[in-house]
Amino acid sequence: MTRIAIDTGSFRGPAGSVYEADGRLFRTVTEIGRKQYEAVRKSASFDEAVRKGYLVDCNELDKKDWPAGLSDAAYVVEHKRIPYISYPYEWSFSLLKAAALHHLNFQIDMLDRDISFSDATAYNIQFIGPKPVFIDMLSLRPYRPGEFWLGHRQFCEQFLNPLLLRALNGISHNAWYRGTLDGIPTLDIARQLPLKKKISWNVFSHVVLQAKLERGALNASKQAVENVRSRQYFSKSAYMGFLIQLRNWITKLRPLGTGKTVWGDYANTHRIKKKI
């Protein structure tokens, strides 16, 4: 009898979980996630996202092909296995930047189809060779008119702030990221940046202003925060423009201080001499 095991990293999402059986990977969609999944599937084909290279290969299975033990699911999808699992705190500046741009490009494509994202965690991106790919299809949900990007803060902490740490201050993000796992808080990056770097409109809007809002939220009651959110309205065109502007800014970021490193001359100093 085939033994099926749940992936321990997929327990958080009530909409579904990931399982493994006989070397194959399966994602369940629960009754809680059924309506959202069906709406996304109808509005924007998952196959199209796979074809464009945004989403990892996925194949919705007929019920007769489901592995034993998943009969309570609403749907079961089989995913192509990622050859090697890596994490954002391990990535170089260029890989983190590629992952950030992939996430934004995917969002822009989906928003044009009235689909948005429920979060913006960097852990939803993996690499197949040098190419990033999105792995959590259940993060996609129908766009709600007037909503602001719910994952903006998470995107800043897990993508933008680590990139800015290197691009503006010349400090590698890896050790800091590894120590927190959830990224670099905007309040912390705001303290790290000198005043002259904060004059930039991009830095002001995504770091300085964001940090100010977070400080205000810490001092406000939960009800006050909910009242502010309920009065917000963000048009779809403004939402799209916001994503495009952020993508264009990140595209231009370059690592500061890419001079000589401990390992820079390793290939030359440890070259193996050929025997004659």
Whole-angstrom CA distances from 18 to 118, 155, 241, 268 are 18, 23, 34, 45
Nearest to 208 by CA among 193, 229, 223, 228: 193
Query: What pLDDT was estimated at residue 219?
Result: 58
Query: What pLDDT was estimated at residue 258?
Result: 60
Q: What are phi and psi of 200, to 5 degrees?
A: -55, 135
Query: What pLDDT was estimated at residue 10?
Result: 64
b/e per residue 99-110 (b: at least 16 CB within 10 A): bbbbbbbbbeeb
Query: What pLDDT was estimated at residue 112?
Result: 92
Query: What pLDDT was estimated at residue 265?
Result: 54
Nearest to 67 by CA among 25, 30, 98: 25
Query: What pLDDT was estimated at residue 195?
Result: 83
Q: How many CA atoms lie within 13 A of 64 on its CB side?
A: 0
The tokens describing 265, both together, are 């001359």
Q: Is the pTM of this model over 0.75?
A: yes
Which ranges of the chain have pLDDT less than 70? 1-2, 8-12, 216-232, 258-276
Query: What pLDDT was estimated at residue 5?
Result: 83
Query: What pLDDT was estimated at residue 85?
Result: 92
Query: What pLDDT was estimated at residue 194?
Result: 82
